[in-house]
Amino acid sequence: MIEEGFHTEGNEAFPEGPPLAEPACRRRERRPRKSYRRCHGLELRGTEVFPVSREKLWEFLNDPDVLQVAMPGCEKLERVGEDEYKAHLKLGIAAIRGSYEGRISLHDKVEPESYRLVIEASGGPGFVKGEATFTLEDVDENQSRVSFEGEAQVGGFIAGVGQRILDGVAKFIVGQFFKALQAEIKRRAQA
């Protein structure tokens, strides 16, 4: 008697017949699970010219009140030590919005030429860790240029939006920072 699904005649590889295939409803393909605990690296660099001397720009970039106004989504920035601040931010990246608590610190300061800014923040949507070096130089007696170069790691749910979107959002946030900084400098110059 030949059972359904077996073929025994003339098959040397399966003398008792080939094995029955598992029904499609029982087959499980092993696909890697999509993880929202990913981590993406971002690189940022650029320059911006300001209508103030390098010394004045240095003062603005070291003033926590100016930084709070200029940082997108910054609701609170309080000093916790020498060149160290606690920050509370509310930001949205794509459809993911949330609150972040973190620390911002300034290192390797060479007045009025350069410093390194380090930021670490985390919240429900994920985390951000990064650092950037800011270099200031004179353009002329009434203008100065700040150049920045840095990198950041983004993880958690916000990393799930994809590298291209994160790159665009990071550039947008940096652009908002410098636009707000320009506006704050002009406002203080008129006061």
Residue 90 lies in a domain: yes
In this prediction the pTM is 0.73
Task: Please state the domain count of the chain.
Answer: 1
What pLDDT, on a 0 to 100 scale, did the predictor assign at position 102? 94
What pLDDT, on a 0 to 100 scale, did the predictor assign at position 103? 95
- Where residue 155 sits, what CATH number does that domain have? 3.30.530.20
Residue 28 lies in a domain: no
Sheet architecture: strand order including 126-140: 39-50, 143-155, 126-140, 114-123, 96-110, 84-93, 74-81
Residue 81 lies in a domain: yes
Determine the structural domain holding residue 112 and report its residue range: 39-190
pLDDT digits (tens, 9 = 90+) for 9-23: 555 555 565 555 554
Question: Cα–chain-centroid distance for residue 131?
Answer: 11
Residue 93 lies in a domain: yes
Rounded distance between C-alpha atoms, residue 54 and residue 113, angstroms: 8
Question: Cα–chain-centroid distance for residue 71?
Answer: 14
Residue 54 lies in a domain: yes
What pLDDT, on a 0 to 100 scale, did the predictor assign at position 138? 95
Residue 97 lies in a domain: yes
Sorted by sequence, the CB contacts under 8 Å of residue 150 that are 6+ apart come out as: 43, 44, 45, 117, 130, 131, 132, 133
What pLDDT, on a 0 to 100 scale, did the predictor assign at position 171? 87
Amino acid code (one letter) for 131:
E
Which residues of the chain fall short of a pLDDT of 70? 1-39, 93-94
* Cβ 66 vs Cβ 184: under 8 Å: yes
Residue 8 lies in a domain: no
Residue 2 lies in a domain: no
